[in-house]
Amino acid sequence: MQICATCGVEYSEPLPEVCPICADERQWVPVDGQRWTTTAELGAAGQRLVWTDREPGRAELTTDPKVGIGQTAQLVTTEQGSLLWDPPGYVDDETAARILDRGPVLAVAASHPHMFGVQTAWGDALDAPVLVCASDEGWVGRRTERIGLWDDDHALAPGLTLHRVGGHFAGAAVAHWAGDASGGGLLLCGDTVFPNPDRRSLGFMRSYPNKIPLSATVVQAIADRLSTLDFDRIIGNFGNPIDGDAKAVLAYSAARHIAWVRGDHDDETGIRTDG
């Protein structure tokens, strides 16, 4: 197994000349070219995983120093077992054992291909299935018997479900946890939608680093899809939160995005559009 140093996603050999995920318009290949690494190489260099308990039943895992994109993985634990969401690009035995101390792992799953990390390595370490949205199957770089496909909606346990939303990727998804500590429901969104730094709005993009927006029609469809779920908080793929009233934040943010791409605010840009 090799790991793309830029995005942190695992690949089987023979390796592609360039990581397809990074070569896509949503990501990038570094100016000095493609570089590969391994878990052993990272471990020898002092790589570690940082565990932070955030609330009853939910912990966050980050890599230090960051591996690839450096996402924050979410570990949600229910009475039936746990979900590891947006797995990191590094795994170690100590963290795997700590996760298993909480009970069986129901699944390892990611919001979209940028967040695949070393998902099958995590599946092996946790003796868990690796769930990939069928719409994004073509982006899988390492295929093993642990990988299972799902589409649209998938129940892991009572109150813990996966939902395909689309937009950022065809299979871009969220995990919905109805049993969170607040009691109002929590969305783990990756960057299917992105909780912004102001903590009161969301972004909707095809590419976040390369600034490719989604259309008004797609953003409205995303908002409509998410509005069918019950939640009052959202957490993104870097632990970035919307801490309350998240459904109202979703509606406001979608309407704002749509208004800007439709041209409602062109008069605020200093650009004349009236000829």
Res 181: pLDDT: 82
- What mean pLDDT is predicted for residues 86-96? 98
pLDDT exceeds cutoff 80 at 274: no
The two structure tokens encoding residue 152: 């649209």
- What mean pLDDT is predicted for residues 219-239? 98
The reply to whether the predicted model has a pTM over 0.95 is: yes
pLDDT exceeds cutoff 90 at 268: yes
- Band of pLDDT at residue 99, cut at 50, 70 and 90: very high
Q: How far apart are CA 21 and CA 2, in angstroms?
A: 14
Q: How far apart are CA 273 and CA 267, in angstroms?
A: 8
Q: Average per-residue pLDDT in the chain? A: 97
131-150: per-residue pLDDT in tens?
Answer: 999 999 999 999 999 999 99
Res 272: pLDDT: 81
Res 63: pLDDT: 98
Q: How far apart are CA 90 and CA 252, in angstroms?
A: 37
pLDDT exceeds cutoff 90 at 256: yes
The sheet with strand 73-77 has its strands ordered as 48-55, 58-64, 73-77, 82-85, 105-109, 130-133, 147-150
Q: How far apart are CA 179 and CA 160, in angstroms?
A: 8
The two structure tokens encoding residue 272: 């004349």
Q: How far apart are CA 72 and CA 75, in angstroms?
A: 10
Identify the structural domains of the chain with CATH numbers, from first to last. 48-265 (3.60.15.10)
- What mean pLDDT is predicted for residues 23-41? 97
DSSP 11-73: EPSSPPSS-HHHHSTTS---TT---EE-HHHHHHTT-EEEEEEEETTEEEEEEES--TT---E
193-209: per-residue pLDDT in tens?
Answer: 999 999 999 999 999 99
Percent of the chain's residues with pLDDT above 70: 100
pLDDT exceeds cutoff 90 at 90: yes
Res 259: pLDDT: 98
Q: Is 236 helix (H, G, I), strand (E, B) or coil?
A: strand
Res 205: pLDDT: 98
Least confident among 7-11, 212-216, 268-272:
268-272
CA distance readout (Å), 265 to 196, 206, 238, 240, 274: 20, 21, 30, 28, 13
Res 275: pLDDT: 64
Q: How far apart are CA 86 and CA 73, in angstroms?
A: 5
Q: How far apart are CA 245 and CA 250, in angstroms?
A: 9
